[in-house]
Structure 1
Amino acid sequence: MSAGATRVFIARLAGVAVFDPAGDQVGRLRDVVVALRLGARPPRVLGLVVEVGPRRPVFLPITRVTVIEADAVIFNGRLNMRRFQQRESETLVIAEMLDRTVRLRGSGDPVSVVDVSMEPTRTRDWLVGKIAVRRTTGRGLRRRRGESMVVDWDAVEGFSAIEHGQGAAGLIAAFEKMKPADLANIVHELPAKRRTEVAAALDDERLADVLEELPEDDQVEILGKLEDERAADVLEAMGPDDAADLLGELPDEQREALLTLMEPREAAPVRRLLTYDDESAGGLMTTEPVVVPPDATVAEALAQIRNPDLNPALAAQVYVCRPPTETPTGRFLGTVHFQRLLREPPPTLVSGIVDGELDPLRPTMDLQDVATFLATYNLVAGAVVDENGHLLGAVTIDDVLDHLLPEDWREIAMDAPAAPAPGGEEVMRRMGGAR
């Protein structure tokens, strides 16, 4: 549908690709910016928030949009690459309007906002026209509890009030297919109040994934707003190394309280990691590498590294140890790279193809030595073994890079300039200009 043709429901546009006139994709739509107006006058649509490059939101005025379709937005090629900064007079539809509780005019019945539509006018402006809502009580028009309906903007009131305890189900649904790192960028950009609401609405696993991608200040803030029991559950869902890094940022008393609330089996590896220096192999390692016994077959080893939840660096090789195979393991025998596994017949025992010649890392080795080891042997992960020959964990290249980069690299990445969009001839000239 063309930009001047029909009504568009905004939540359905979340994540839609944005193209320039040449057909090159420049980013994805993340939100729509509107300006609320006094009384029952519908808000004006100011533009779109488009994520270009890695984790960089920019503002695209609605006047530059030429086509809006169910799976694509096309604009005229003029795009200011300056990072989007929300103004006090602006409201983000997906981030701030979805899930709000407003009231129907006349009856006063509370309803929850499910979606918001925008539609063009004869003057080529875009206005918010309809609101999709879900009734939150059974009073009023005798509708069943939870029934949805679409009403005119002037049929509801309450968007201008500050709402405490606003839900986040709609926002989360709009971005449910996003990778954790991308969702973390959205969460980072939200106001503190909305960040807390989103964290409360995410399930433990999803919140754990997002926390692992956030800057430390955001991690500490969000964890501090959770009930202690919930915070402990989220820490259990995180990788032990990430949980240890986060707990290491907390005061001793709070850290110990959360560790006590965690399941002992989940807390034990985290406690072990906290005993090591942050920039040692012991402090860098994860305690959950893929460990197999020597009598495991190639087929069994491959089945383990096919786990879609496994970090790609951890899936690059398996560690062969005598039982027990949970860290700290029995005697460490060596590693088998996944490429070697792919070359061998499925019934082959891993004990027959294990590489035991490479000396493993020691937990006290410093960051520089660990990085040198991985670079020297072209590895993306390395075994960490104690003086008694027990496997303690594995250091992966992503954790090494995390510590080699500046402490605030996540914030820098989120605020870094992006490359100009292809096809937009005015982009370079307009970079840094006012929107």
Structure 2
Amino acid sequence: MSAPHRLDRGHTDDLMTFLAASPTPYHAVANAAERLEKAGFRQVSETDAWDADTAGASASGSGGKYVLRGGAIIAWYVPEGAAPHTPYRIVGAHTDSPNLRVKPLPDIGAHGWRQVAVEIYGGPLMNSWLDRDLGLAGRLTLRDGSTRLVNVDRPLLRVPQLAIHLDRAVSAEGLKLDKQRHLQPIWGLGNDVRDGDLIAFLEEESGLGTGEVTGWDLMTHSVEAPAYLGRDKELVAGPRMDNLLSVHAGVAALTAVAGGSKLPYIPVLAAFDHEENGSQSDTGADGPLLGGILERSVFARGGSYEDRARAFAGTVCLSSDTGHAVHPNYAERHDPTHHPRVNGGPILKVNVNNRYATDGSGRAVWAAACEKAGVPFQSFVSNNSMPCGTTIGPITAARHGIKTVDIGVAILSMHSVRELCGADDPHLLANALVAFLEG
């Protein structure tokens, strides 16, 4: 018999709060960690020696554990008495989204305008960043090596579009943007552009002394709040759903199952950075972070390499990322027989050329979880004439040799500064993830 939904529209309300509070990967993992702490999880350091208690595996362990590294977080809960070879159930996601990121020499200007030099991160819908009130957020590194999060969450910058009077062909021929020349935001007036102005401003905003900041990872974000949309408020518009929607659902699912003493698997959340540009970093899915932490957990519980091999062989990962809902104005761009709809439940993503990692046996795992949760799901494949995107799924499967299934939520306006999803799909996804982690 299907289990009742554990999460409802209140989960979607909470998602909107999470989106608004997480303008960067660094803020997203900090907010995820705060939620995990409230559920009894405790942070462990990669530089400390791990024993059974540190890894959360002994009878005296204080529940789940997590590791933070930059814009990535790995969290897990080891049930009491779990053997070293106990397999994992992993929800994988990513914390980064396409945006405009500040260059090393940010202070520029021309013709009486003060501007900030930015670089394009990932593959944003660049037109969606025009004429938006933008804030600035990220991570500051101080002289002593410590870091400080900063979030100027008010209208600070703007990328102004050229008026139609100066580009008469734009409506007929489409907008053409040069990434270098046309996307540098303005943030004030003046001819006296001075090196260091932006960082000095952020030092003041953060209550730091002049010259304390020696490094930074900064990015722009729309300050418009997430909101319900539609006659019956059946839709949600907001930023960074790709892929904080999955990160949020993963945190909710992991905290929901933590504390269960009869779990047949060790539930894990793995939220990586840098998916939007290939995942090749020390915090990306193509790096050693996940494998190293899972191995250390095995060894901390007294396991051997043989136990590690057995655990990985029985492990399944759900790579949860957003996918494409059928677009009413461009239905011909979709596969003619696969039209995922918003509020129709999460999607199973399939590509026989392994752009997604799903195969038939993985589909069965996903179908069982959805059946247990009482959640409907839909299938997604790309139109054969359109190139297919990819996810952390194939990377995770290939790097760690674990069965991986690509799933997610169908949205519109993917990679826009403001995306659109169904208001029910976030909690339907979270409930399916709960059932999957419970086994």
TM-score, structure 1 as length reference = 0.25
Bigger helix share: 1
Larger Rg: 1
TM-score (norm 2): 0.25
